[in-house]
Amino acid sequence: MSKPVIDFKDDVVVSKRRLADLPDRVIDGDPHHETQMRYTSPDGTLLAGTWESTPGKWRAFTGRDEFCYIVSGHVKLISKDGGEQEFRTGDSFLIPEGFEGYWQVLETTVKHFVIRDYSA
């Protein structure tokens, strides 16, 4: 039996958090996140949705591959060795499992994402 295509207009689960509630992650600012989870695989290892963040800087999560498409905004990813890459509205990129560094949201950003979570 063929599985149905996942329609992102249906079954949205919205969560909000203040990243400062994870004090070991925040480096600068008081970023607030809203996530619209559009899909979670039955085993919890594949996630897709839309995310919004206010400005701030924090340690990047590890143990995952993450594809991102920036719908609006401006972010910087800073690797542990100091390399920096900036992304703006219309840009897409992949953060591979093993990346160590920081997210810095320079202006409120909305992104679509797909994550393969290896820690689930």
pLDDT digits (tens, 9 = 90+) for 7-47: 877 678 889 988 888 778 889 999 999 999 999 999 999 99
19 belongs to a structural domain = yes
Range(s) of the domain holding residue 41:
13-117
- Identify the CATH number of the domain in which residue 91 sits: 2.60.120.10
| Sequence-ordered strand ranges (E) for 61-118 | 64-79, 84-88, 92-95, 101-117
- The answer to whether residue 3 sits within a structural domain is no
What residues form DSSP beta bridges with 13? 37
Q: pLDDT above 70 covers what percent of the chain?
A: 98
pLDDT value of residue 95: 97
Query: How many structural domains does the chain have?
Result: 1
Choose among 31, 42, 37: nearest CA to 13. 37
Domain annotation covers residue 80:
yes
Look at residue 52 and tell me if it is in a domain: yes
